[in-house]
């Protein structure tokens, strides 16, 4: 038996014992045991309590038998920890008290001092890693990509149109470059801290990159993302890059330094692999299908397993995060199907 977990086998292009599966946003949200533990208040407070954060990280592993745990944390943890003034409002997302509007706001973004600013993250990772060590389950650390984090700082909260971000990019491209350079350094420190404490893989979330045209992505987002991914290459852990609505950006994302590319549900994985080339893929079940009849959910899961077989490695996931109202039993069905039928379907399709 190989010493690597199925997740790490697939991420490095080796044949896994079974097709690995985990779900973005599996920690929290739809789990009743999460809601019971979490209570009221900002998620940032729950993240600051290692006993709670570690337990929430492990809950989906116990309930679903997924192949990876993702650390219970958030992409705005570093900016919040250095005092930018940002909170995460339940049901809404990150909101900045005073958004980033001008050059003087750069002074509000100092470097991250890991030991002082986020000791609780280190403690949570250590705790979870020790617990998962005995199993074949991989702990994934994560950070936000500079563009996506910048979008919250500049818009002041979630946005559909990204008008303020785009105005800033075009009005003052040098200030934009300085902003994403600072955010890249924060994400690098954040990722390095998690890997040093025991996380075995990392994911960079560029969730809203799909708001950019290919030219905008090349000019305003990809360089800082590349810098983050290249600055952690020495850690020798698989690096996953993910965004939503990125069908037209997949070719560029493949050049980012990412080992694995995450694909949302809009692009079939066999088509995605033609755009991406020689990289394992992660994805790509539409999270809304967990609300469809079971037959439809299972057919879609099988179709993804067959198409994923065309890539040099496939980690099954949703095409974006678990939706809050999702019935956990539907996710459990997906995990069991992927584990029981994944390799057989993949071999038939190859």
Judge whether 301 and 334 are in contact, CB under 8 Å: yes
CB of 249 to ligand CP3, least distance (A): 15
- Site for ligand CP3, rule CB under 6 A: 24-29, 38, 43, 70, 72-75, 88, 90-94, 142, 205, 207, 321
CA of residue 225 relative to chain centroid, distance: 14
| Residue of 34, 38, 239, 307 marked active site | 38
Asked about 64 being catalytic, the answer comes back as: no
Please identify, using beta-carbon distances, which residue of 262 and 345 lies nearer to ligand CP3. Answer: 262
Asked about 192 being catalytic, the answer comes back as: no
Interhelix angle 119-133/50-64, nearest 10 degrees: 30
Nearest to 68 by CA among 344, 343, 327, 317: 317
Asked about 120 being catalytic, the answer comes back as: no
Torsion of Cα atoms, 204 then 16 then 26 then 64, to 10°: -170
CB of 182 to ligand CP3, least distance (A): 19
Please identify, using beta-carbon distances, which residue of 38 and 275 lies nearer to ligand CP3. Answer: 38
| Residue of 17, 25, 108, 302 marked active site | 25
Asked about 38 being catalytic, the answer comes back as: yes
CB of 136 to ligand CP3, least distance (A): 20
| Residue of 34, 63, 64, 74 marked active site | 74
> At 95, which helix (H) or strand (E)?
strand 93-96
CB of 205 to ligand CP3, least distance (A): 4
| Residue of 29, 126, 219, 266 marked active site | 29
Asked about 63 being catalytic, the answer comes back as: no
Could you give the residue numbers annotated as active site?
25, 29, 38, 74, 152
């Amino acid at each position: 038996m190989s010493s690597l977990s199925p997740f790490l086998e697939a991420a490095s292009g080796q044949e896994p014992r079974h097709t690995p599966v985990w779900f973005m946003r599996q920690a929290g949200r739809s789990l009743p045991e999460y809601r019971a533990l979490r209570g009221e208040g900002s998620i940032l407070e729950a993240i600051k309590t290692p006993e709670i954060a570690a337990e929430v990280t492990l809950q989906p592993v116990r309930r679903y038998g997924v192949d990876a745990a993702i650390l219970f944390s958030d992409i705005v943890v570093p900016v919040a920890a250095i005092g930018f003034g940002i909170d995460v409002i339940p049901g809404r997302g990150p909101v900045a008290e005073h958004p980033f509007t001008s050059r003087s706001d750069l002074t509000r973004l100092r470097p991250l001092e890991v030991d002082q600013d986020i000791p609780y993250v280190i403690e949570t990772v250590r705790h979870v890693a020790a617990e998962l060590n005995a199993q074949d389950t991989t702990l994934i650390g994560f950070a936000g990509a500079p563009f996506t984090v910048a979008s919250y700082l500049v818009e002041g909260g979630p946005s559909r149109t990204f008008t303020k971000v785009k105005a800033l990019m075009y009005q003052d491209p040098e200030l934009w470059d300085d902003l994403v350079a600072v955010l890249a350094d924060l994400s690098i420190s954040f990722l390095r801290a998690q890997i040093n404490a025991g996380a075995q893989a990392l994911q960079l979330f560029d969730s809203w990159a799909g708001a950019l045209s290919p030219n905008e992505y090349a000019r305003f987002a990809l360089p800082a993302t590349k810098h983050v991914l290249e600055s952690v290459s020495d850690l020798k852990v698989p690096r996953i890059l993910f965004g939503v609505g990125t069908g037209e950006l997949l070719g560029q994302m493949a050049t980012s330094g990412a080992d694995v590319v995450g694909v949302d549900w809009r692009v079939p994985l066999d088509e995605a692999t033609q755009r991406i080339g020689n990289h394992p893929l992660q994805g790509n079940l539409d999270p809304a299908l967990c609300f469809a009849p079971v037959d439809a959910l299972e057919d879609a899961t099988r179709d993804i397993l067959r198409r994923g077989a065309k890539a040099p490695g496939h980690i099954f996931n949703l095409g974006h995060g678990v939706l809050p109202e999702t019935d956990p039993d539907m996710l459990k069905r997906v995990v069991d199907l992927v584990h029981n039928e994944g390799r057989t379907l993949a071999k038939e399709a190859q």
